[in-house]
Amino acid sequence: MPKRVLIPYRHAKKVAAYADAVRVGGAEPVTASVENKLSLDGFAGLLLMGGSDVNPTRFGETARPETDQPDDERDEAELRLIHEAVERELPVFGICRGLQILNVYHGGTLVQHLEANARHDPEKEDHSVSAHEVAFVLESKLAQIAASATWQVNSRHHQAVKKLGAKLHISARDLEDGTVEGIERRDHRFLVAVQWHPEDQTKRHPEQLRLFERFAAAL
């Protein structure tokens, strides 16, 4: 029987692609609103999905005009779940905002707005279409999963890692401008995060399903 993965969300309409990818990858997705009191009791792993910006006060900065209105309830719920997962050594897979809040949890900071934003948030109607290429860091867990030096990935984010959090390693960068596109913890069974949205690309680029398969295998 597939092991259960918790996917916390703010907007239920955005969950389907993540849940489908987790299911096809070999785990059982369970979605739950951050309005509830969430716990990882009974779950084998945690998937952190995309969404609004992390409140910059959580990394010691004042919000810029381009930064979303804070969602402190979501930030608090996800940070609490990350702490629980880290303490229990449960696998964690972060996507887009998921990468960013993992970095903040570990004491890192974020670029609040990428000036070359057209490259990273091109507003394509088809979310499966690639936007740019990422290069994987040799011998990283992400490179092992990719089994390739580079991937073509989609992109829809305006923030990125600035200062890397403690115990984290960079595992992928934008091939052209160096923006951090993947991070991981090497002292944890599976704590991997990517800045792009592989849940939208598994049909057009089936190699990206390996991210969900390896996540499920680590549960």
| Helices and strands per DSSP (H, E), number in the chain | 6, 11
β-strands 191-194, 180-185: how paired?
antiparallel
**Cα(122)–Cα(200) distance, integer angstroms:** 15
Residues annotated catalytic, as ranges: 96, 197, 199
SS3 54: coil
> Do residues 156 and 197 make contact, with C-beta atoms less than 8 angstroms apart?
yes
CA distances from 207 to 25, 132, 151, 199 (A): 11, 16, 9, 11
Phi, psi of 213 (to 5 degrees): -65, -45
Collect all residues with Cβ–Cβ distance below 8 Å to 200 and sequence separation of at least 6: 17, 127, 128, 154
How many CA atoms are closer than 13 Å to the CA of 135, on its beta-carbon side?
A: 8
**Cα(5)–Cα(9) distance, integer angstroms:** 13
